[in-house]
Structure 1
Amino acid sequence: MSGGGQSVDIPGLDGAWNRSWPKCPPAAHRLRRQFRERWVRFHALPEGKRYATSDAEHAEILRRHHTLLQDLLGDVTVGGGGLVAITCSWSAAGLPTPRDSAVAAATPRAAHWRSDDLATDPGFHSWQHHYVSAMDLHDPALDRLLLCVADDMTDGVILTGTGCAWAVHPYDGGVDVFAGSTEVRDRLAGRFAEWLPSTRQGT
């Protein structure tokens, strides 16, 4: 599979997301605010280094992301698939706009899923347009997308399973995990404790 070649069941995804994350758009800052008790943050590089400056550091970023995703996906990865990548574009109006060229190249077959106005001030609009791609851990598109994020070429990426029981938000410097329960969050934090910030709420 390359570039998210499988189609996403949009109605199924919509229902699964709304059951797992009710009244919350697929936006990391909203997930942190509404589901803070299920959130844990990990650094993508040792000592909290933000950007990779070598091939080895890029490889370490990918290794950490793959390890976390493998843990969350569990046995789903045996048969392949099971992963949905959510990418974004932004505008001041509700009509979906094209995504950045780098993320569009990484996931060219992405389909528009939903658009959310994330503005909080009256009279202002800040639309985030969400596109979805189906992929798996072995899809080259996943690594292309993760490296786009790591090198600060895009933002707003969310990775989740087809059931949306958890959500992963990679960013330049780390990854936010929104687990299916506080128990799963604590298990991840214990298993990968060496990747945690010096304080649990650190960057």
Structure 2
Amino acid sequence: MSPLRGLTELWEDRWGECAPVAHLLRGPYRDVWVRFHSLPGSKRYPEDEREYGIALDRYNTVLDELFAGQDVYVIAPVWTDGPRVPHGGQGGGPGGVPGAVHWRSLPFTDDPDPEFHVHCHLFAARRPWRRGCVDGLLRDVADDRTADVMIADTGLRRVHHPYDGGADVFLASAGERDRMRERHAEWLSSHPAGL
């Protein structure tokens, strides 16, 4: 049986207002979204091991709160200019996720110029969550070497989208979002829109 069996149906049921591309979630799901910055003062990129330690600790603290004792899906895209599904990738697996298998491919052909048509090939792996189990991937995200990663529980009730500078977190309800926001208020942006 495929480790990704039923994943598409789960996505459509829970997050069906957008394609499973991490940066698109914030649009239709602002009511359950919160953004945390990964470094003090909203600094974007770590410059030394101390700052990587802070960023990884913030990522892992939220991930522990979301997924401790559960299995998770680690999902990462590989973007190409054609529909052919790529093999391999950086970090020991497609999309930088060791053990990942192809989940689905999405064409983005809205631009009238065919030169700008791209395909997003999503790769995913299911694994038990434990603190630090995706630190290599999180470092790549922090350094902007990979993007649009998602980590989600196997019911897709909660999604963690790390990006270079922080993490967008999508919770099961607005109340849950508010409680998490309060627990980590010092990691929030001062921007009025929470960016």
Identify whether the pair has TM-score above 0.5, normalized to the shorter chain.
yes
Deviations 1:24-56 (A, max 9, x none): 222123211121222111100110111111211
Rounded to whole Å, the distance in 2 between the matches of 1:196 and 1:139 is: 22
Structure 2 SS opposite 1:10: coil
Rounded to whole Å, the distance in 1 between the matches of 2:109 and 2:28 is: 16
Partner of 2:47: 53
Shift of 1:96: 1.5
Task: Return 5+ residue gaps in structure 2 as ranges.
Answer: none
Partner of 1:194: 186
Aligned residues: 192
Q: Which amino acid aligns with 1:195?
A: W
TM-score w.r.t. the length of structure 2 is 0.88
Q: Which amino acid aligns with 2:105?
A: S
Partner of 1:164: 156
Q: Aligned Cα RMSD in Å? A: 2.2
Partner of 1:178: 170
Contact 1:89 1:99 in 2 (8 A): no
- Structure having greater relative contact order (Cα 8 Å, sep ≥ 6): 1
Q: Which residue of the other structure, out of 120, 136, 152, is the alignment partner of 2:110?
A: 120
Rounded to whole Å, the distance in 2 between the matches of 1:46 and 1:151 is: 16
Partner of 1:89: 78
Contact 1:135 1:142 in 2 (8 A): no
TM-score w.r.t. the length of structure 1 is 0.84
Structure with greater helix percent: 1
Rounded to whole Å, the distance in 2 between the matches of 1:153 and 1:47 is: 22
Contact 1:118 1:126 in 2 (8 A): yes
% of aligned pairs identical?
A: 36
Shift of 1:116: 1.2
Contact 2:143 2:164 in 1 (8 A): yes
Check 1:202–1:140 CA distance in 2 against 1; reply closer, same or farther (3 A cut): closer
Check 1:33–1:9 CA distance in 2 against 1; reply closer, same or farther (3 A cut): same
Contact 1:8 1:134 in 2 (8 A): no
Rounded to whole Å, the distance in 1 between the matches of 2:180 and 2:92 is: 28
Contact 2:3 2:126 in 1 (8 A): no
Check 1:51–1:22 CA distance in 2 against 1; reply closer, same or farther (3 A cut): same
Shift of 1:120: 2.8
Check 1:61–1:87 CA distance in 2 against 1; reply closer, same or farther (3 A cut): same
Contact 2:64 2:130 in 1 (8 A): no
Structure 2 SS opposite 1:159: strand
Deviations 1:132-172 (A, max 9, x none): 01233437550111111011111111111111001111111
Rounded to whole Å, the distance in 2 between the matches of 1:152 and 1:68 is: 20
Deviations 1:53-109 (A, max 9, x none): 121111111111111111112xxx33xx51111011111222212464246385231
Task: Return 5+ residue gaps in structure 1 as ranges.
Answer: 1-6
Contact 2:138 2:162 in 1 (8 A): yes
**Is 1:147 the counterpart of 2:139 in the alignment?**
yes
Contact 1:38 1:180 in 2 (8 A): yes
Contact 2:91 2:98 in 1 (8 A): no
Contact 2:38 2:167 in 1 (8 A): yes
Partner of 1:107: 97
